[in-house]
Amino acid sequence: MNTASNLTAKQCKPCAAGTPPLSKAEADSLMRQLEGWRRYDHLIDKTYHFKDYYQTIAFVNAVAWLSNREDHHPELTVTYNSCRVEYTTHSIHGLSENDFICAAKVDALFKI
């Protein structure tokens, strides 16, 4: 089992009050389990490209379904043939493991 599939096997958990964001080392370790994602201080993002608008919107709908199931919602920027997905955990003002779990699951959706 590769490391990304370890993330996809996990479920998001609510962050308790006072939970600190991941340290740089923790975030860097989780980033190594994702392909093509970029990390900025407090967020991670990736842009997915599609053949046309229909495929883009189908992907957006699948991400919406996944987000509701995990109760962890990304910022989405949608164009005719691309969708930028951005994760951060607003309640802790930084990155949590939930961001990486959802990123891995979005990657898995894209490969379907």
Tell me the DSSP string of the chain: --HHHHHHTS---PPPTTPPPPPHHHHHHHHTTSSS-EEETTEEEEEEE-SSHHHHHHHHHHHHHHHHHHT---EEEE-SSEEEEEE-BGGGTB--HHHHHHHHHHHHHHT-
Q: What is the pLDDT of residue 16?
A: 84
pLDDT, tens only, 1-16: 455 668 999 999 988 8
pLDDT, tens only, 42-72: 999 999 999 999 999 999 999 999 999 999 9
pTM for the model stands at 0.91
Cross-strand pairs, 94: 89
Q: What is the mean pLDDT of residues 29-37?
A: 96
* 82 in Cβ contact with 110 (< 8 Å): no
Q: What is the pLDDT of residue 15?
A: 87
Percent of the chain with pLDDT over 70: 95
